[in-house]
Structure 1
Amino acid sequence: GIDEGTADEIGILVTRLNATLLIAALGEAAYPKVAESHSEAKKFAESKKIVVMGGITPGQTTDAVAAVLAERVQADVFVNVTSVNGIYDKDPNKYAGAKHHRTLTPQQLLGIVGKGGLGAGSHNVLDIIAARVVERSHIPLVVLDGTRPENLSDALLLGKCDGSIVSGTKKKILPL
C-alpha cells in the first residue's frame, strides 16, 4: 500500500545491501565500498578493482544504472546477468510458448520491452530506459542466465553464449 516513490527508495536500499554482500564475497578483488553514483563508480574504477553498485535513481532499475554506466565509460559490451537465459518475446516463466531470441537489433529489443510494466517490482528482462541507452550508445548487450555463474566466464573468456546478443552490427561481440 505504499507509493511508488517509497517503493523505489526501499528497492535502492535493498540493491545496495545486495551489492555489499557481493563485495564481501569478492574479497580483495572488489573495491570496498558500494558506488552510489556513476561518478563514484568511475572514480572507484581507477583502483582497477571490481566496482559494485546497486540502484541510484528512483524510477530506474539497476538495468538502467548499468546501461548508463556502460555508456559513460564507453564499454565495449554491456553484460546483463539475469534470471532467464536471454531475451524472449514474452515472459518465459508465464508463457510456455515464449520464443527465445539469440540475436536482436536494439529496435527489436525496444519492441519487446516496450510492452512491459514500469512500476516498482515489475519483471522485464531489461527495462525500457536501459534498452533506449543500448540503442543510442551502440554498445552491444549480452543477456545471460545468472543462475549458472559459469555462463559469465564462458561468454567472456570462451565466446560461448547461450543467452541473447543485442547489437546493431554483425561483428563478433565475444570474447572481449
Structure 2
Amino acid sequence: MTSSETAETQTSPVKYKRVMLKISGEALMGDQGFGLHPPTVERIAREVKAVHDLGVEICMVIGGGNIFRGLSGSAQGMERTTADYMGMLATVMNALAMQSALEGLGVFTRVISAIRMDEVCEPYIRRRAVRHLEKKRVCIFAAGTGNPYFTTDTAGALRANEMACEAIFKGTKVDGVYDKDPHKFDDAKRYDTVSYDEALAKRLGVMDAAAIALARDNNLPIIVFSLDEPGGFRGILAGEGTYTKVYG
C-alpha cells in the first residue's frame, strides 16, 4: 500500500464502525451450479478486506446453500432437524474457505461456530467474539444459531445484535430491494428506502420474517446491495453507491 493509499484509509469517513455482512452460500459458487469457486471466494474476500482497511470492524454470516440446504433436504423427505444440522455444517465449510481467503490477504480472521467443533474453529462465546472485533479481527459466525428451523438470515440478525453492530449489510445479486424480480421484469421498481413493516407486508424478500422482525425490534438498519459490483461494499461505507436501506 502506498503512502497516499494509507492516508486515504486513515482519513476516509465511514458511517458505520461495526457491521454484519450477510451473504448466501450461493454467492461463493460463482457460475458453477454447486460448491465453492475459489476465484469468487477470493474476490469477495478482497471486498471485505477493502472495508476492513477503512478501520471498520466486520462480522460475517455465510449461508450453506451452495453445498446443502436444509429446507430442500426436508422437502425431499429427509427429517427436517437432520437436514438443518447438515445445512449448518455446510456453513462451517464456507466459513473456513472464507477465512483461508481472508488470511491469505493478511486479514486476521476467526471462525466461530454455534456448534462446538474445537479442532476446527472456536465455540461461540459472546465476550470473546467482541474482543476479537476490538482487535480488528474479522469474525465469521458459522452453524447458524445452532438450532434447527432457523435460517442463516436469522442468525445474521441475532449475531449482529449481540455484537452491537450498527447495520446489517445483505449482499445479493441485485443493487437493492425491488417490488419484483428485476431479472424477469423490465418494469421492476427499486426502492431507495423501505420500512421493516412494508418489507414484511409485501414479502419483498429482503431477509426472512424472523430476521426482519429482530432487526426492527432493535432498530438495526438493513442495507441491501449488490455483491457483484466491484468496490460496492466499500463504496457504501464511504457514502457512495446504489443500495436500499430498510429501517424505521
Residue 94 (structure 1) shift: 4.4
- Shift, 1:67, TM fit: 0.8
> Aligned-residue CA RMSD in angstroms?
2.2
Could you say which residue in structure 1 is the equivalent of 2:156?
66
Does residue 52 in structure 1 map to residue 108 in structure 2? no
Distance in 1 (alpha carbons) for counterparts of 2:231 and 2:83: 33
Q: How high is the sequence identity, in percent, across the aligned residues?
A: 27
| Alpha-carbon contact 1:44-1:51 (below 8 Å) kept | yes
Verify the 8 A CA contact 1:31 1:51 in the aligned structure 2: yes
The CA deviation at 1:155 is 0.6
Deviation at 1:19, TM superposition (A): 0.8
In the alignment, does 2:83 pair up with 1:7? yes
Label 1:87 to 1:46 Cα distance change in 2 as closer, same or farther (>3 A).
Answer: same
Q: Which residue of 1 aligns with 2:109?
A: 31
Q: Deviations over 1:131-150 (max 9, x none)?
A: 10111010111111112251
Structure 1 residues 30, 127: closer, same or farther in 2, change over 3 A? Answer: farther
Q: TM-score, normalised by structure 1?
A: 0.77
Q: Pick from 52, 62, 84: which aligns with 2:174?
A: 84
Query: What code does the residue aligned with 2:207 have?
Result: L
Query: In the alignment, what sits opposite 1:18?
Result: 94
Gaps of 5+ in 2: 1-75, 115-122
For the residues of structure 1 that align with 2:127 and 2:225, how far apart are their CA atoms? 24
Larger strand proportion, structure 1 or 2? 2
Give the counterpart letter for 1:154 in structure 2. G
The amino acid that maps onto 1:161 is G
1:163 maps to amino acid: Y
Q: How does 1:96-175 map to 2 (within 5 A)?
A: 96-113=186-203, 124-156=205-237, 158-168=238-248
Q: 1:95 to 1:6 in 2, by over 3 A?
A: farther
Larger Rg, first or second structure (1 or 2): 2
How many equivalent pairs are there?
157
Report if aligned partners of 2:130, 2:163 keep a CA contact under 8 Å in 1: no
Cα distance per residue 1:49-83 (max 9 Å; x no partner): 00012323322222211111121222222211123
**TM (normalized to structure 2)?**
0.57
DSSP-derived class of the 1:81 partner: strand
- Rounded to whole Å, the distance in 2 between the matches of 1:149 and 1:67 is 25
Task: Report deviation, 1:86.
Answer: 1.4
Contact 2:126–2:162 (8 Å) recurs in 1: no
Aligned residue identity for 2:247: S
2:112 is paired with a residue whose SS is coil
